[in-house]
Chain A
């Protein structure tokens, strides 16, 4: 089944404790992206990647890191999480961005206390 898989689905952590949210797609998509979704603000892009070893900042990249060492994986790293990073996170992939919709992962609900 074609899908984008994120783990974990739910995570509660403490301020400052490094964490990684994994994202993997099995559709051989070149383009991958991370979004966060907050009430009243909608989906906002954190980082995106056009292909292996090619990444760039989205609209809200502060406090996050990403890497794209393999085509299928695009992990999101929070080196020192803070409470304002409490949010619902979605990974998305696309064959390209020209006329194709994104396929989203199931989401990761992160709470930083």
Chain B
């Protein structure tokens, strides 16, 4: 089976940095995705990691450690519009056409 854990909620201050963690236990591994979802809207793709290390894309970075089953999403210079849910999703090797999603972390950015 697959198991993905992320914190349910986080709060951070505008202009600050926040790190959202994701741990996973899957029967195989072929990539980890991060999505952003504003309330009532569709998820939008943020990042993809398949090798260990840090991927940076503007204010957003994502890190992966395959040996630890661990990833994090780092958001810098937080803006009010970053208030959203952040979904971690893993693609297990043997079912490569299926993404397994965590339940998401709801981030609230306060002034």
Q: Which residue numbers of A lie inside 8 Å of B, CB to CB?
A: 31, 33, 35, 40-45, 48, 50, 56, 58-59, 90, 97-107
The residue of chain A having its C-beta at the shortest distance from the C-beta of B30 within the complex is A98
Tell me, in angstroms, the Cα distance from A44 to B104 when the chains sit together: 12
In the bound complex, CA of A66 to CA of B27 (Å): 27
A38 to B91: give the CA distance in the assembly, Å: 20
Which of A41, A42, A50, A101 is in CB contact (< 8 Å) with B97? A50
Quote the shortest CB–CB distance from A45 to chain B (angstroms). 5
Known A43-B89, A97-B97; further 16 A-B contacts with Cβ < 8 A = A35-B101, A41-B103, A43-B43, A43-B99, A44-B101, A48-B97, A56-B97, A90-B42, A98-B30, A98-B96, A99-B31, A99-B50, A100-B48, A101-B45, A102-B45, A104-B44
| A-chain residues with CB within 8 Å of residue B31 when the two chains form the complex | 99
Residues of A within 8 A of B98 (CB): 33, 45, 48, 58-59
Contact count band on B: 20 to 34
Q: What's the dominant secondary structure at chain B's contact region?
A: loop
Q: In the assembled complex, which residues on chain A have CB atoms less than 8 Å from the CB atom of B44?
A: 104
Contact code string B30-65 (vs A, CB < 8 Å = 1, else 0) = 110101000011111100101000000000000000
**A-B pairs with beta carbons under 8 A, tally:** 54
**Chain B contacts to A: CB under 8 angstroms:** 30-31, 33, 35, 40-45, 48, 50, 87, 89, 91, 96-99, 101-104
Complex Cα gap A45–B35 (Å): 16
Please tell me if the beta carbons of B104 and A42 are within 8 angstroms of each other in the complex. yes
- Are A97's CB and B91's CB within 8 A? yes
Contacts of A45 in B (CB 8 A): 98-99
